[in-house]
Structure 1
Amino acid sequence: MDQDALSDVVRHLRPSGAIASGFQAGGDWALRFDDQQRRIKCYGVTRGSCLLTIDGMATPRRIQKGDCFILPRGRTFVLASDLSLTQTDAAKVFAQGADGSVQLNDGEGFSLVGCRFAVDAPHREALLEGIPPVIHLTRTPDQDSLISDIKQMIHESRSTRPGSRLMADHLAHMVLLHAFRAAVELHPEQAGWLAALGDPRLGPVVASMHGDPAHRWTLADLARLSGMSRSAFAAAFRARTGATPMAYLDRWRMVLAAEKLVSGTRVAAIAVETGYASESSFSVAFKRVTGLSPRAFVKAHKEPGS
């Protein structure tokens, strides 16, 4: 069975603690969303349009009815009818909302639905590294499904029915899958390293690395899977992902290793499961990728109650 690398990525991100809400605005308005605490946010515009700017992004984006956008890096951002207006702290505005809905002014000109969730992966940065701070989706088949998922999340957040918390967390997985899949298939220029998953030559290579991380992969093995020469494959892989094939493989192995470490698996066992000849060679590789020894990583990321 072929490995589904995108499912792997979303599963290991472990989105949880999902919160969803609606927002309506009229007239002139500008909201600044500070201190995102490394949460991922997803939005769908259901009426009107607005401008979006993100810290570190040179050019604002015009977001229109039907568009969806995802903010995977947790940076400060601004939504506004006019970016020259004085910005209001969004946290204060949303603190006044009730029943998962907030309105500014008459609420007649613009509306969106949105959700946010924490990412509990112990090696979060390795999974999100290289993904742009915004993915802006226009005219994609997944947009309606994504907006529908967010609306259902709002409904679940208001619900007192049994299972509503788990339902919201499962919907967070669906939102991410819809968003990333649309980016990979239709907006690869916005998908960062995820674009490799949709590449007909590189996709099978990434799937193979995900499917058998313990295999002693060589550059020649991976190039053969792509149907390219070693030099052409290495250049194409780096152009798509921003990393060499072996660096990507090391990074993926460390994502798996990080989860096993915080769950209490012994280092010797993890070394075997991630393709290293010895515990010491694994520890050297782990520190090279994460900046911490396995022992220090466990201490820094120990799960509550473990």
Structure 2
Amino acid sequence: MSEEARRPSEDPALFSWLNRRSLSASVFFSGSLCGRSDFDDGDAPGTRRSGHLHLLRRGTLSLQTADGGVRRIERPSLILFAGAQGHRLETEEQATAELVCAHLSFTGPEAELLLRGLPTLLVIPLDSLTGLGPVLERLFDEAFTPAFGQSVAVDLIVELLLVMLLRHCIAEGLTESGLLAGLADPRLARVLAAMHDRPTAALNIEELAAIAGMSRSSFAAAFKQRIGISPGDYLTTLRLALAKQALLQGRPLKAVAPLAGYRSATALARAFQRQFGCGPREWLAGQRQDTA
């Protein structure tokens, strides 16, 4: 792929879907860790997808993951678990480490697609996060200095940091496939924007290729290579994500179908069965049981 094709698009309209509150953060610890702390792999209360963000400001940490892997972190670093995964942070004997820790929730129809291709674990030294220095400095100032509205301010800054981190992942090619990998190519970014802005539109492969400014065959191959699935499968995944969100909001199946781009409840049910091995009602019952 050419350098031009790899450069992220600078058109903000292409990323308008992220305004839909696809991600949020809740800081639950800021201070000095002495000893060890375990983090489970369950969802944070009230969320359906969760992860953890740890920011090591000072000190040395040992990071142990659920698969038994151990990693020593000696530089100020960002540690991101984009999905729920058990892990442990531990300091050296009689030593401390200054940390800010947050629960992350990824919601909305874009969540699944946003996380696809993002490494389960990212450990990035803070000094390599180009352009994030002022944000990190402000975050640490707020986190370690009690003041009016501190918790709200810290959560908002972490959310800003997350958006900028996603930009960093796009620019540095840290995702091998998925939505973020596609956004690194301006041609595919235009197509992804069209899909997310008009998920119910009847966009065929020729129309999508025209949006990308590519031939039909070149577009189909480039999309599959970068995103990991075909344009049709991507659109189906997005539509079913919209349907799941609407079902969780309590909307009836007949009303959900057109919102997700399906002509009838029967067509939506068939798509659910193919994708998830169960119908919409069975899926919804399972979700309610999981959160009971």
> Please, what TM-score do these two structures have when normalized by structure 2?
0.74
Tell me by how many angstroms 1:147 deviates: 3.0
Distance 1:136 1:238, change over 3 A: farther
Residue in structure 2 matched with residue 243 of structure 1 by the alignment: 229
Whole-Å Cα distance in 2 between the matches of residues 198 and 20 of structure 1? 33
Indicate conservation of the 8 Å contact 2:117/2:181, yes or no. no
Indicate conservation of the 8 Å contact 1:180/1:191, yes or no. no
Tell me by how many angstroms 1:176 deviates: 2.4
Residue in structure 2 matched with residue 259 of structure 1 by the alignment: 245
> Please, what TM-score do these two structures have when normalized by structure 1?
0.71
Residue in structure 2 matched with residue 33 of structure 1 by the alignment: 38
Indicate conservation of the 8 Å contact 2:117/2:175, yes or no. no
Which residue among 179, 182, 189 is the counterpart of 2:165? 179
Distance 1:111 1:169, change over 3 A: closer
Indicate conservation of the 8 Å contact 2:209/2:215, yes or no. yes
What is the one-letter code of the residue matched to 2:140?
K
Deviations along 1:113-140, one digit per CA (max 9) or x if unpaired, are 2222344559965653432111233412
What is the one-letter code of the residue matched to 1:47?
R
- Equivalent positions of 1:64-83 (< 5 A) are 64-80=74-90
Residue in structure 2 matched with residue 46 of structure 1 by the alignment: 57
Runs of 4+, deviation exceeding 6 Å:
none
Tell me by how many angstroms 1:262 deviates: 1.6
- Equivalent positions of 1:1-306 (< 5 A) are 2-4=13-15, 7=18, 11-13=21-23, 15=24, 17-25=26-34, 31=36, 33-38=38-43, 39-56=50-67, 61=71, 63-80=73-90, 105-107=94-96, 110-119=97-106, 125=112, 127-138=114-125, 139-145=128-134, 147-148=136-137, 150-151=139-140, 154=143, 161=148, 167=153, 169-189=155-175, 193-302=179-288
What is the one-letter code of the residue matched to 1:33?
D
> C-alpha root-mean-square deviation of aligned residues, in Å?
3.7
Whole-Å Cα distance in 2 between the matches of residues 190 and 70 of structure 1? 17
Whole-Å Cα distance in 1 between the matches of residues 217 and 181 of structure 2? 20
Residue in structure 1 matched with residue 8 of structure 2 by the alignment: none
Unaligned runs of 5+ in 1: 83-103
Indicate conservation of the 8 Å contact 1:49/1:64, yes or no. yes
What is the one-letter code of the residue matched to 1:295?
R
Unaligned runs of 5+ in 2: 1-11, 44-49
Deviations along 1:186-237, one digit per CA (max 9) or x if unpaired, are 2434775422122222111111100110111112222222223333322322
SS across alignment from 2:186: coil
**Percent identity between the aligned chains?**
26
